[in-house]
Amino acid sequence: MATPQSNANIRSGRLDKADIERNFSDLHPPLSRSEALIEADRCYFCYDAPCTTACPTGIDIPAFIQKIRSDNIRGSARTILTENIMGGMCARVCPTEVLCEEACVRNTHEDKPVEIGRLQRYATDPIFDDNTQLFERAEPSGKTVAVVGGGPAGLSCAHRLAMLGHDAVVYSRDSKLGGLNEYGIAAYKTVDDFAQREIDWILSIGGIDIRDNVALGADFTLADLCEQYDAVFLGIGLGSVNELGIDNEDLPGVENAIDYIAELRQTDDKSTLPVGERVVVIGGGMTAIDIAVQSKRLGAAHVDIVYRRGPEQMGASAFEQQLAQTSGVTIHHWAQPRRLRGDRAVTAIELEKTTLDADGRLVGSDETFVLDADVVFKAIGQKLADEQLGDELQALQLQGGKIVVDESQATSLDGVWAGGDCVVGGDDLTVSAVQHGKVAAHAIDRRLRS
């Protein structure tokens, strides 16, 4: 992040520590028992529950809500966590408004959907608070699987393998496990170090060995793993950030959003973080919303999001877009960056209005406007970290810069599976990555027992 010395408008302490702590309190406070019972009573317990169909991990949502009604919280949590071992985090960060809650039969103009996400949190939080282990390992198989990546896909795979009796060795490039759950999600969505508490609980099943601060392509190779282990799972995520590809992109003050979010998540005192006075965010996904809202909550006076298409095409849900706007963020649709201005640091960004041509393709209109900025955040998506990986993935079939897998998450290389954001079809959701890891673990289990 640019320092106060490189740009006088970028400094810490725009708000005092107490204000910032309030701004970063829990976005969705937990339900009380009475609130949970009232909300659970709203469920129709549909036989062919569309909410369950809409859940990427296939949680039996009516079943876990019915257990909440009968005060069987442990049973409710078991129903959730059997299908989604990261059900606690997903209750906080999953875009339920476009998945299970959108599919809820109560989601009409006259009514509102059951608050499935908050009920899921109500059921699972006590398990993590008390460190109650719900699952046991099967008899040891004598097989060991290498899991590359300590994010949701890798941890989901490792936990399910452990349940099935196999040992898992997780290789993580970071000092903490969790991937984007730990480093890439807004701090107000996962307070009180919840991401690590959930991971501690996941690891408590046993049979999972952790090797941190090591990276594929630098400290070991895929060939090494294939030789040393009975199977390999790749959950390597997307470790590199897309560039804008415009002039002056290397100016101080032009930052990767994901890097700053990681810094924000790891700091003990958010009031010490430098923040711009006028912040512009380029992008339309959840990361763009997260960095924009957090900049505002750190004290930025003006925050603008610029997205090249309309609100319906934004990767961020309607709820997230509304959260940004109600937080004081201005969203500019149908605009794309043209050039950055500044001498020793960025001072403004020139933008071009966009439109669709007769064939429906996005094109520039040559009509421009300028936004003043002392910080410009790039949030236009990530890609595989080719510069770190080198030739490691050459043995795999790739498409569009991602790993091709089949319905069992198997890659084109025998004995290697993959999941999460790094695979074709990965959609930047924790819940989808968890499902990939679970599916792969069962496929690996079938192979190892055949």
Residue 264: its pLDDT value, please?
96
Comparison of pLDDT for 272 and 240, the residue scoring more: 272
The CATH number for 33-130, chosen from 1.10.1060.10, 1.10.10.10, 3.30.70.890, 2.40.110.10, is: 1.10.1060.10
| Region 34-40 average pLDDT | 98
Residues 6 or more apart from 448 whose CB is under 8 A from it?
A: 141, 143, 166, 230, 231
387 has a pLDDT exceeding 90: no
Confidence of residue 4 (pLDDT cuts 50, 70, 90): very low
Q: Delimit the domains of the chain by residue range.
A: 33-130, 144-239+384-449, 241-382
The CATH number for 144-239+384-449, chosen from 3.50.50.60, 1.10.287.990, 3.30.565.10, 2.60.40.10, is: 3.50.50.60
Residue-wise pLDDT tens digits, 46-61: 999 999 999 999 999 9
Q: Do 33-130 and 241-382 have matching folds? A: no
| Region 102-118 average pLDDT | 97
What would the CATH number be for the domain defined by 241-382? 3.50.50.60
Distance, in Å, from the CA atom of 374 to the CA atom of 127, rounded to the nearest integer, reads 45
Confidence of residue 239 (pLDDT cuts 50, 70, 90): confident
